[in-house]
Structure 1
Amino acid sequence: MSDSSSPIRISRSHWQALVHELSEARRQRHLVTYRALVERLQLPTPAMQTLTAALEHLAALDARADRPLRSALVISQGASRLPRTGFFECARRLGRFTGPVDGPVAASWHAGEVARVFEFDYPEVP
């Protein structure tokens, strides 16, 4: 299933700012919403698609390096306090998650992944 549209790109400065924001969230042991990241990073339109593409790229880099997925720190504003289903679909493609993309299995796996992110010592450069 490949997307035939042109790939979404993020500038180096936005990428570095994203990695910094996630590093700060990890250091402070808190989660950040997609909306807060879009606003803080001042991403150009289409901002949410750009953020999603960047988070999926970061997840792929983390998976390749056998690190916990930092993108797990980004959640929806809704009551679930979970990432969007696309995060779980991405984690599944990367071989990190199996199971339904919503519900208790996803919530439990996400909580474990967040704990692993908080405990992991990431190198300064992603």
Structure 2
Amino acid sequence: MSQVRISRQQWQSLLTELDLARRQRHLLTYRALLERLQLPSPAMQTLTAALEYLALLDARAEQPLRSSLVISQGASRLPRTGFFECVERLGRFSGPVDGMEAASWHASEVVRVFEYRYPEEA
């Protein structure tokens, strides 16, 4: 994974946006997050790296992956394929990254995130 730096404030904003989405039980698009977080360029790579890092933290803590709440705005309503490659590396998913298995796994992971009580952020 490439080294991408975001400020503590931007990281906290990312966690806050995801927590708000989780409590309202809705998903966020990458574009909406990029607009809200005002990340440094290249913003999409920065966001992707931050979401992958969060997935790693959640996986280590054996929690549902909050980064699953971020989706493409296309018709699929799924995260980008890189998300599935990331969760496959983390041992959470295996299968084709663009098929029904991925869509089904993502749907159940989103429900798990919605229903999980995360420890309060430090």
Q: Deviations over 1:52-90 (max 9, x none)?
A: 000000000000000000000000010000000000000
1:60 aligns with 56
Unaligned runs of 5+ in 2: none
Following superposition of structure 1 onto structure 2, how do residues 80-99 of structure 1 map, counting pairs within 5 Å? 80-99=76-95
- What's the secondary structure of 1:49's corresponding residue? helix
Distance 1:41 1:123 in 2: 23
Partner residue in 1 for 2:14: 18
> Matches of 1:20 and 1:38 in 2, distance apart?
14
Identity, % of aligned pairs? 76
Residue 76 of structure 1, aligned match among 64, 69, 72: 72
- AA matched with 1:64: R
In structure 2, what is the Cα distance between the partners aligned to 1:48 and 1:124? Answer: 27
Q: TM-score, normalised on structure 2?
A: 0.97
Counterpart of 1:33 (choices 29, 49, 64) is: 29
Instruction: Determine whether 1:113 maps to 2:118.
Output: no
| Shift in Å, 1:95 | 0.4
> In the alignment, is residue 104 of structure 1 matched against residue 100 of structure 2?
yes
Moved over 3 A (4+): none
CA distance in 1, matches of 2:6, 2:92: 25
Gaps of 5+ in 1: none
Aligned residues: 122
Distance 1:31 1:78 in 2: 13
Cα RMSD, aligned residues only = 1.0
